[in-house]
Every structure is written in C-alpha cells, then in structure tokens.
Chain A
Amino acid sequence: MRTQSHLRIGDQPWVKWSLITLALTLVFLLLLVPLIAIFVQAFSGGVSSYWQNLTDRYTLHAIGLTLFVAALTVPINLVFGVFLAWLVTRFEFPGRKLLITLIDIPFAVSPVVAGLLYLLLYGANGWIGSRLMDQDVQLMFAWPGILMVTVFVTCPFVARELIPLMQQQGREEEEAGVTLGASGWQLFRRVTLPNIQWALLYGVVLTNARAVGEFGAVSVVSGNIRGETNTLPLHVELLYQDYNTVGAFTSASLLAGIALLTLFVKSFVEWRQARQRAALSEDEA
C-alpha cells in the first residue's frame, strides 16, 4: 500500500502534469514548429513554384552531388567501421584502448576545424597540397575534397555502433566457426555479419544522414561553385543569401524529408535490434 509519506518528488499530479506540459511545449516549439515551418515556407509560392525551384538546374546538381558523396562515403566508412570494430573487439594488442579513443576524434573536433585542417594540408599552400598542385591534382575546391571531409566527419558512426555489440557478443561463435574450418570470408558472412547486421544498418543510416546534411566542413573546402561543388546544405544557404527564400526552403524541405526518412528507418532498426537483444538474452538464460 502506498501512503502519502512515500510519495517521491514528481509523484504529485500537479508536478507530473506541469513537467509533461513543459516537455511537450518545448518539443513542439523547438522541434515540431520549425519542421512544419520549412514545409510551409517551401510551399508558400504554391506547388508550381516548389516544382520549379526543385527542378532548377543547380538544385538538381546539388541533389546529385550530395547523393554521389553520400554513396561513396557510406561504403568507405562501412568497410572502415567493420574492420576497426572487428580489430578492437577480437584482438588484444598494445594501444587498443587508445585506438578506441581516437575513433571519436571526428566527434570531438568541430567540423569547421576539420575542414580547415584539410584545407591547410591539401590546399595550394599546404604541405601536401603544394606538391599535388605541381602534379595538377586538385583535391580541395573539387568533389574529392568534399568526399574527404565527409568521410572524416562521419567515420565514427559505424564503428561506434558495432563495438559495444561485438564486445557483448564475444568471440565464441567465431572461434567455433574457425574450429569447423570456415575461411575468413565464410566466417564473416555466415557468423559475424548476421550477428551485427542491424547494428551495422543503424550505423549506415546515421552515416548517411550526416553525410547528406554536413555543412561546416564541406563549406570550408567546397569553393561554392554552382553546378559543380555545391552540395544541398550549401545550396540552401546560397539561395537564402540570394533572397530566394522559397528556393532555399524547397531545398531545405528535401533535407528535412531525408531526416524524417532517417528517423523512420532508425526506429525500425532500433526495434529490430531490441528484438535481437531480447532473443540473445533468452538464449543465455
């Protein structure tokens, strides 16, 4: 039986309800209203103007470039992330702990700083860049530069998702596979991958979302050439500066759409992961 004296802070109805109201109001004002505003602004000139802005030659190119960069970034970081997670969870070696810490550097460093570092290294006056310039290789202010910084900024996502899971799962199953004579590739495809597939997908979704939306680092190395090095987030800013509000919000609505899609996929994957975890703990029990 609960009595009045056992009530904790927050159990009183007025406290509970005012906290809930406060949280909902904040969510509504800070998250939902801006999201709705994007679409309201984008369609403020009507559907035809939305379509016209969407099919503008430079907007189409920005969409293409953004997808192109994301499509290269995701597989690169997928391979990198799996390899790294496998390395630090399956082997003991000196510097392992340090490596796990180093993975997080891109999270700790501001993207603008990351962009500047690449620019200082690979730009015309940079240590590597000046040599490349002599070979007529242009990395900065061209799509390879955009790809480089995007890979940098998004590289921890996959590894960060996999490491805790792979640590939890341990290496028994893989060791069993090895004793049964599985080759390295068979081991990965039949044992490791099925175990980590949902965490992997989760990492991929996050990587993709960030790769599509990255502004700071890309803005430093892009050079802002329309129809050439202008990604979708940069395009939004450019249109806004250019007094084309409807155009800016049209492009922003695409990014918001991708974000919503990401959220949807993310919750689905989380739900699958939770099921997998439940199954795992049942097996152990």
Chain B
Amino acid sequence: MKLQSEHFRENLPAFLNNRQLRQNLAHATRTVLARRQALVAEIPDWEARRRAAYRKKKALLEDWDRQLAVFAEQAGRRGVQVYRAEDAAQAVALAVEIARRHNVRQVIKSKSMLTEEIGLNEGLAAQGVEVTETDLGEWILQLAGEAPAHLTAPAIHKSTEQIAELFSRKLGRPCPADPQELTRIARDHLRRKFLQAQMGISGANFAIVEEGAIAIVENEANARLTVSLPPVHVAFIGMERLLARRQDLALFLPLLTISSTAQKLTSFVSYLTGPAAADALDGPRHVYFILVDNGRRRMGRDARLRQALYCIRCGACYNACPVYQTIGGQAYGWVYQGPIGAVITPELVGLERAQQLPFASSLCGACSQICPVHIPLHELLLYQRHRIVAAGLTPHPERLAMRLFGWMFQRWDRYSKAFAWLHRLPWQRLAGSWSRTRRLPMLARRAFRQRAHSLFPRNRPQ
C-alpha cells in the first residue's frame, strides 16, 4: 500500500468535505459502538478481563525471543515450514519464492492487514500471480482500487448504494442496492476463484505458542475456504500475535469479537495446526508460516511503545475516535489508522514520514478507554509527540515559540509582563485559523491575578 501519511494535511480537506463519507462513518461507528456497549454491559468483569489481557501480553513480550522460538519449533514439529522475515521486502520475496516452488498462478487471500503493510498483492502481481481478495469488504476495495479504511470493516466508508454502483460498473451489469443480493453476486464470483486457486494466503489473529498453531477469526467463511481448499497455504503472522496457550483464546476471542464487530463470537474461528494428513479428504498439503518483523522488534525495545504491540487489531479505537469518525481511515494515508495507527505508523514507516499523525488527535482519551487490552493509547500519542520533538522534526518557529513559552512562564513576574505586552498585539489577527469558524475570546482587560489584590487583601495562609 502506497504511503501517503506525509501528505496528511494536504489530503485532509478531501475527506472533511465529503459529506457522504462523514454520514456513512457516523452511522457505521455509532451503530457498532452501541451494540458493543450493550454486550459489554452483560459482562460484569469486562474491566478485569482487559487488565488480564494486558498482563498476559506484557508477560509474553517480555519473553519474546524464547516464545517465538517455541512457537516456530512447535509449528515445525507439525510439519509447518516456518520462516522469519526481517522486513517487508523479505516477506514478499518469500511469498514469491513459495508461489514459484508450487507453480502458483492464482492466489486466494483472506483478510490480513499485515499483507497490506508489506505490499504483498503488488509484489505477487509483479511476478504475474493473480491475487483475489475474498473478504467481502476487501474484495469491494480491490474492485474499487482503494485501500482499506478500517481494520475489521475495510469498506466501512461506503454505503450500500455506492457498492451497488461499483459492482454494476465493474461487473458490467446492473446490481441492486440490496446487501443480500450484493453478497450473492460476490459469492458467485469468488466461488470460482476459490476452486481455481493453487495457493491460499491468510493472516493470523492469534499464534498459539504451545501448539505452534494459528487462529483466524471471521464471519464469511472465506478464510475457512482459503485455508482448506488450495493445496498450499501461506500464513503471514506479525511477530507480536503470540498467545501462550490455546486456553488464552477464551479470554482474547470475546475481547476481540465484542470490540470489533460487537459479536459474542464470530461465525467462524479456524484453527490451523499444520498440513493435512496424507489420507485427509481436504486441507492444504503444504503449510508455510512467515513470521514478520518489519520494525516490530525495534518498537518492542522501547518499554512504552512495546505496549502498542499488545494490540489485537479489533479497531475499537477507530470507532471510538472522534477524529476517525470525522475523516475515516484512508485520510491517515497508510494501513494502520485511527489512534493505534497514529502510534505505530511512525515506528513502521519512520518517524519523519508519519510525524503529522500523532498530532492529529484532540487527546480525548476515548481510545484508551475502549481498548480491550488496555493500551494507554492517548498517552502513547503524547509520547510519540515527544519523540518527534526530540528528533528535531518540528518546525523552527514552533520550537522557538515553545522555548519562549518555557522561559516566559517560568516566572510569574515575567509571565505578567509578557501578557501585558501581548495586549498590545493584534491578538485576533494572530489567531486567524481559529477565528475563521470560532469566535476567539478577548484577553481580559485585567487578568485575575491583577484583581486578586483586592479580592484577597491578606493573601497568605495562616
């Protein structure tokens, strides 16, 4: 996926001025948040579960190297071929190599943000391999030639009418604006692709260390078909996806499904333990796990940013974020969006290219409040701002202004004098960007501290 986050500000008006987009987003996020809230209300120990999940992830990543080694060893024992990819290029090269090894011309793919992150589809297409997205939302976007706008609901920004129009245009026949009918059309189209493909590609929601297995969570059965129909399966696994034990799923699965799609459990959870036995009727004969780093381990070395690796990619922070609700995911200009995206994108693509994102937040804390694994997201946004400043990436006038602030506000007499002087400036004109849409308050003729003399004649505690 093409990185656009350095153009965040320039791209913003296109999203802000798109009334239809804002309506779609407001409707979709409000609906899912209300349903989620209703489910959470049924779980008295929800808060305790969030904290338990945080603790489990923390413990696991403190022992990361060993856990990764055990996972790889256990998977290998079941006949999975496990690879590690340091970066995106290596991960794509591995996929290309596996496709070549098995003479693959057509690939079906279930939803995976990691493969978006590493640009897998483009990499395979460049080698003449046809990739078909089989998640309905992802397929819609593949038809539209767009990037996903959400972690779990990639086409959240599109209305049914817009999707019907897209199908009609791309498939060359009129398609009605009826969700059921549109789904049927997609199913007919995709079923053929499922039967033709020589290789399936998936992500992994959870990688279970003790068994070397992966769990894939979905509602459309497309992931189930992706892992079971083609003879070859490749799963891309972010190195941080680990859970220690299968029984941890009892904690993490509902945290994920309630937070993402407001379901107690999704329709399907597939558990892939390795290649099918020789006498099995179906299932892949060759299974590959590719553990992708791509900046994760560097992020993990910073004790604070490591918390962002606890993320289970539910997208609840997107839904709860008033900025996301206003501009949608594509505005962020990369795969990961919303609050968690603004925290991790600078780590994955470089501080410099994503430096605007941590500032595009009102720091309201709705993200931290909703995160099912208790990541203090808005505090991490603050931390990223600090890192961006420390790296010297902010504009010179701003640095100067802040230095002046520090000096001026360090002493009350300086502060008083400075404000007396500020009175003489055309204050209203200085804040043009503010006052275009909002009335700016006037500096008071006499500050409170000047009135305090008369209010408190003897202003000292006894």
Report whether chain A binds chain B: no
Please report B residues at the A interface, Cβ cutoff 8 Å.
none
Please report A residues at the B interface, Cβ cutoff 8 Å.
none
